[in-house]
Structure 1
Amino acid sequence: MADLTHGDDAAAVNALHSAVMRLSRRIKHQRVDESLSPTEMSVLATLARCGSATPGELARREHVQPPSMTRIVALLESKELVSLESHPEDRRQKVVTQTERAEAMLEESRRKRNAWLAGLVERLDDDEWETLRAAAPVLEKLAHL
């Protein structure tokens, strides 16, 4: 394994970090509802990906404190993007579920982001596009390690 803390490898790691962060910020701005914070959008995306969850489970998945998640869920509920139901096994808890309105908004945001990104990709030459296509599974792996 290469020494990723020195020389060319360290420079490559730094360049990767910088590029991923810049691209991520630009992609996050391609959303339909500008009134939602990136954290609120992330919670909705987590619900879409993982299904209904308690606020505590969402807090763990989103790496925020439970009181913060309680506030986020309340905001999303006030915007009719999530609903709260009693937990089937523990009536003291609530289960958060995204609404059809949230599903439609997420789908429209995904279409907008993908169209924006496709516009950027069209500016690449064939070799750059093939390199990026080959890198996508590796970047996905890194995102889940």
Structure 2
Amino acid sequence: MAKTIAEQASDLRMGTFRLARRLRAERADDELSDGQLSVLFGLRATGAHTLSELAEREHVSAPSMNRTVNCLEESGYLTRIPDATDKRKAQIELTDAGTDLVKDTVKKRDAWLHSQLRALDPTDRETLAQAADLMRRLATQ
């Protein structure tokens, strides 16, 4: 019997969640939390932000983001640059070490996924390639 759309949606959600969780386990620094890595990945993708902009983007409070930024700054992964027009603000940006950490994490995740895909037969790999395209389209609707 064919699954309902609701059952298919649930299966897709769970499969996506499990794969994302497994990929998140592949990281260049095992000491960092998912939230800390999210900040680093976001800064790599979009450039420098203020603390309040980061907090808003990550859906956390400013004090919580300040703790995250302080920890990442102490680890050498990001730095605060005083704002030229408003000395009360600072732009938070990645350091070279932060950029390298993001790149190394992406490499680890890609390598893990590559090894998993290599174990599949070509038909399954093609199905996943088509599904990836559909998932991108769903995500942008």
Tell me the TM-score normalised to structure 1 length.
0.90
- Counterpart of 1:46 in structure 2 is 42
Stretches of structure 1 lacking an aligned partner (at least 5 in a row): 1-6
* Cα separation, partners in 2 of 1:68 and 1:139, compared to 1, 3 Å: same
Query: How many corresponding residue pairs?
Result: 139
SS in 2 for 1:59: helix
**Residues 34/56 of structure 1: CA separation in 2 closer, same or farther (3 Å cut):** same
Identity of aligned residues (%): 34
Equivalent-residue separation in structure 1 for 2:43 and 2:77 (angstroms): 11
Match of 1:34 among 30, 33, 37: 30
Match of 2:107 in 1: 111
TM-score by length of 2: 0.93
2:46, 2:140 → 1: CA distance?
A: 14
Shift of residue 138, structure 1, vs aligned partner? 2.4
Distance in structure 2 (CA, Å) of the matches to 1:108 and 1:42: 14
Q: Which residue number corresponds to residue 88 of structure 1?
A: 84
Verify: 1:129 aligned to 2:109, yes or no.
no
Distance 1:12 1:88 in 2: 52
Displacement of 1:144: 4.4
Between the aligned partners of 1:64 and 1:142, the Cα distance in structure 2 is: 26
Q: Which runs of 4+ in 1 moved over 3 A?
A: 141-145
Look up the equivalent residue of 1:37 and give its one-letter code. Answer: S
| Corresponding residue of 1:59 | 55
Residues 1:20 and 2:50 are matched in the alignment: no
5+ residue gaps, structure 2, are none
Higher relative contact order (CA 8 A, sep 6+): 2
